[in-house]
């Protein structure tokens, strides 16, 4: 059975294909359109998924959209009527969106793909998140929490999933509904702190490490706890349900002071800069408190050792690590794409297991479901432009790259199939030596063009992870997809300065050989040569651009920035000046 999952029209569209119960392709539209977080109908992603599997649209048994557009429409309408007359702006905006493509999704899918309407199915938004988390996790029984800004009505759901004798069950225990939302609470502070909503949330998390939670009492006034362990927002502090201008209200500004302008620098040496950092630390702390309470109660209620976490809030690695360490769950399983892009895969899997009741299959426990890299393309491009490029066997490639990294060179590393989700986990990465803070500053200045308070992440083989990072039980699993933030061991912080955040932590990727053998071999060889089997690993893109997909995009990025070496599969390319220096050295 061939099932296509689609997420679109809000943020970060994607398509995913499940064939006979197994995910065979999944990719975000932005990787083709080259528009970051592209929300348009993912035609290119769908076309690639079908091509990859050798299918035509008529071979599809079902196309599953990741949410119910009419329920979302109802939420917008009802909220606007409740807020009337204050909410006229939000109403008009919401109606325009909802009456546009969102409501006519079925017709759109039929028109674009030529499939009959009866083949188009819908899941609920949080069902898709829950399925993306549980049905991709190697767990037979788990508690499930999903949390994001908002789907149709739900903003947080709590449930459980079970696999038994080839059958799957997923049940919802309870949910929190719009306008009460942890995601929107965090996004409101994201906007207040001058960052782009839906994109800048991790900047708030990065900034939080520089502050102290001196505004925690104020933030707690915004979120009260309900008897069932959930929460409710004091809506007087928010405007997102009645306005499209700002998420925060006048009352919010009276409590926290003037907001930061989008283009104002954050100077942590000034009172104003520290105030923003303290506010970031405070909202981060309160988010953690709510999630910890909720997860602790759920661990007690279900008695299950595993918790699967989905939705955009699951990208908060600092909160994730505390959930793992403090709530009683033994494992916290966060998929590589917990946000809306992953919902395309979640929706397809949900339909396969729960709508069609197909037998369960072993979970695909890696993120490499996108297009693959062709090294011959890099060789061809290099020869056309007279750029020094060569094909190397595995051993020579690893040896050269170790030398490059030891010499302080920045390496673009493309290999195999592209990752689904926002994180580069070794197939579309930029790698560099992790020792020196100057490397971090150089990457920020010459390649990523971004704020200094955002840390870079390390990658380490699982065998060596506990030597360098303070991993609690279950920490290596949480680090599989870079979903946790852990302390760097104090004695190694100086030698890991480029990847250690100001508070002594790192968002480490813990790599198992089976998931990515070549990167594992590189780390091991680098460890033998340098005494430290750790590399800096950041996504292969420039600021404001999506992660590179094809070799040609990697090559174009390589030429436009201060990267020294580009590797695509077995092909290695150098900047011409470097190649000349290398030749001189060889003949000296």
Q: Whose Cβ is closer to Fe ion: residue 31's or residue 129's?
A: 129
> Under 8 Å CB-to-CB from 63, ≥6 apart: which residues?
3, 4, 6, 109, 113, 115, 119, 120, 121
Give me the least distance between CB of 183 and Fe ion, in Å please: 8
Q: How far is the CB of 131 from Fe ion (least distance, A)?
A: 12
Q: From 45-53, 65-73, 326-334, 340-348, give the range in contact with Fe ion by CB under 5 A.
A: 340-348
Asked whether the bond before 93 is cis by omega within 30 degrees of 0, the reply is: no
Nearer to Fe ion, 347 or 482 (CB): 347
38 or 340, CB closer to Fe ion?
340
- Closer residue to Fe ion (CB): 125 or 163: 125
Binding map of Fe ion across residues 263-302, x = CB under 5 A, - = no contact:
----------------------------------------
Q: Which residue spans within 312-405 are E strands per DSSP?
A: 331-333, 368-372, 389-391
The CA angle 534-537-542, to the nearest 5 degrees, is 160
Shortest distance in whole angstroms from residue 151 CB to Fe ion: 5
Binding to Fe ion (CB under 5 A): which residues in 142-201? 148
Distance from C-alpha of 152 to C-alpha of 126, rounded to nearest angstrom: 9
- Binding residues for Fe ion, total number by CB under 5 A: 2
In the complex, least distance from residue 407 CB atom to Fe ion, rounded to whole angstroms:
43
Cis peptide before 34 (omega within 30 of 0): no
Our CB check for Fe ion shows the closer of 315 and 511 to be: 315
Tell me which stretch binds Fe ion (CB under 5 A): 108-116, 217-225, 337-345, 362-370: 337-345
The rounded distance, in Å, linking the Cα atoms of 539 and 4 is: 27
CB-closest chain residue to Fe ion: 148
Choices 26-34, 42-50, 234-242, 333-341 (CB under 5 A): range interacting with Fe ion: 333-341
Pick between residue 184 and residue 397 the one whose CB is nearest to Fe ion. Answer: 184
Q: Which is nearer to Fe ion, 148 or 288 (CB)?
A: 148
Q: What dihedral do alpha carbons 64, 66, 69, 71 form, nearest 10°? A: 120
Tokens encoding 226: 């309900």
According to DSSP, the β-strands at 417-419 and 389-391 are: unpaired
CB of 312 to Fe ion, least distance (A): 6
Q: Which residues pair with 63 in a beta bridge?
A: 4, 120
- The 119-148 contact track toward Fe ion, x by CB under 5 A, reads -----------------------------x
Of 123 and 429, which has the nearer Cβ to Fe ion?
123
Report the residue number, 37 or 249, with the smaller CB distance to Fe ion. Answer: 37
Gap between the Cα atoms of 241 and 235, Å rounded: 9
Helices (H), 493-567: 517-530, 551-560
Residue 291: CB minimum distance to Fe ion, A: 16
Torsion angle, alpha carbons of 507, 510, 515, 519, to 10: 90
Pick from 458, 412, 419, 375: which is nearest to 575 by CA? 412
* Residue nearer to Fe ion on the CB measure, 139 or 157: 157
Answer whether 246's CB lies under 8 Å from 239's CB.
yes
Cα–Cα distance for residue pair 542/317, rounded to 1 Å: 23
Q: Which is nearer to Fe ion, 278 or 340 (CB)?
A: 340
* Closest distance to Fe ion from the beta carbon of 237 (Å): 23
Segment contacting Fe ion (CB under 5 A): 224-232, 261-269, 339-347, 555-563?
A: 339-347
**In the complex, least distance from residue 536 CB atom to Fe ion, rounded to whole angstroms:** 30
Cβ pair 115, 6 in contact under 8 A: no
- For residues 37 to 76, the per-residue mask of contacts with Fe ion, x marking binding by CB under 5 A and - elsewhere, is ----------------------------------------
Asked whether the beta carbons of 401 and 411 are under 8 A apart, the reply is yes
Cα 464 to Cα 479: distance, rounded to the nearest angstrom? 13
In the complex, what is the shortest distance from the CB of residue 319 to Fe ion, in angstroms, rounded to a whole number? Answer: 16
Q: Cα separation of 452 and 437, whole Å?
A: 11
Evaluated on CA atoms 265, 269, 271, 273, the torsion sign reads positive
Least CB distance from residue 129 to Fe ion, whole Å? Answer: 6
Q: How far is the CB of 190 from Fe ion (least distance, A)?
A: 15
- Which of 340, 352, 360, 415 is the binder for Fe ion (CB under 5 A)? 340
Q: Rule CB under 5 A: which residues touch Fe ion?
A: 148, 340
């Amino acid at each position: 059975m061939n099932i296509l999952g689609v997420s679109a029209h809000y943020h970060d569209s994607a398509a995913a294909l499940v064939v006979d119960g197994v995910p065979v392709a999944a990719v975000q539209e932005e990787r083709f359109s080259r528009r970051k977080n592209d929300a348009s109908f993912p035609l290119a992603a769908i076309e690639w998924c079908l091509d990859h599997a050798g299918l035509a649209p008529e071979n599809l048994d079902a196309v599953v959209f990741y949410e119910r557009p009419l329920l979302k429409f109802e939420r917008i309408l009802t909220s606007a009527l409740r807020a009337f007359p204050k909410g006229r702006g939000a109403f008009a905006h919401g109606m325009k969106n909802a009456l546009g493509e969102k409501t006519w999704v079925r017709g759109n899918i039929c028109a674009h793909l030529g499939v009959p309407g009866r083949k188009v199915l819908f899941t609920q938004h949080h069902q898709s998140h829950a399925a993306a988390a549980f049905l991709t996790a190697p767990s037979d029984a788990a508690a499930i929490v999903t949390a994001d800004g908002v789907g149709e009505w739900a903003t947080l759901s709590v449930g459980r999933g079970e696999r038994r004798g080839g059958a799957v069950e997923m049940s919802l225990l309870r949910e929190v509904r719009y306008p009460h939302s942890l995601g929107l609470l965090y996004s409101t502070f994201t906007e207040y702190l001058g960052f782009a909503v839906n994109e800048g949330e991790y900047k708030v998390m990065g900034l939080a490490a520089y502050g102290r939670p001196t505004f925690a009492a104020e933030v707690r006034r915004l979120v009260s706890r309900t008897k069932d362990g959930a929460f409710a927002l004091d809506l007087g502090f928010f405007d997102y349900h009645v306005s499209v201008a700002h998420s925060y209200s006048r009352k919010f500004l009276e409590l926290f002071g003037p907001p930061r302008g989008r283009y104002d620098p954050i100077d942590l040496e000034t009172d104003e800069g520290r105030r923003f950092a303290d506010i970031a630390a405070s909202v981060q702390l309160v988010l953690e408190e709510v999630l910890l309470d909720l997860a602790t109660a759920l661990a007690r209620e279900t008695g299950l050792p595993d918790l699967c976490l989905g939705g955009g809030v699951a990208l908060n690695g600092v909160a994730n690590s505390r959930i793992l360490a403090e709530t009683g769950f033994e494992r916290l399983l966060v998929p590589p794409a917990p946000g809306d892009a992953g919902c395309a895969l979640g929706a397809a899997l949900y339909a396969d297991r729960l709508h069609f009741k197909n037998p369960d299959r072993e979970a695909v426990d890696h993120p490499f479901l996108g297009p693959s890299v062709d090294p011959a393309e890099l060789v061809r491009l290099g020869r056309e432009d007279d750029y020094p490029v060569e094909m190397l066997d595995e051993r020579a490639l690893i040896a050269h790259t170790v030398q490059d990294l030891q010499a302080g060179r920045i390496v673009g590393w493309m290999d195999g199939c592209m990752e689904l989700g926002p994180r580069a986990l070794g197939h579309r990465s930029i790698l560099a030596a992790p020792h020196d803070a100057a490397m971090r500053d150089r990457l920020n200045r010459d390649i990523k063009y971004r704020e200094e308070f955002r840390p870079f992440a390390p990658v380490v083989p699982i065998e060596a992870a506990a030597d360098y990072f303070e991993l609690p039980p279950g920490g290596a699993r949480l680090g599989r997809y870079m979903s946790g933030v852990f302390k760097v061991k104090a004695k190694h912080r100086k030698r890991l300065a480029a990847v250690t955040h100001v508070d002594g932590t790192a968002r480490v990727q813990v790599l198992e050989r089976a998931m990515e053998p070549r990167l594992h071999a590189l780390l091991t060889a680098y460890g033998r040569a340098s005494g430290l089997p750790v590399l800096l690993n950041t996504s292969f893109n420039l600021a404001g651009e999506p992660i590179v997909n094809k070799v040609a995009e990697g090559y174009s990025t390589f030429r436009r920035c201060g990267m020294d070496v580009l590797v695509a599969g077995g092909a290695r390319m150098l900047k011409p000046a470097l190649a000349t220096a290398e030749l001189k050295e060889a003949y000296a």
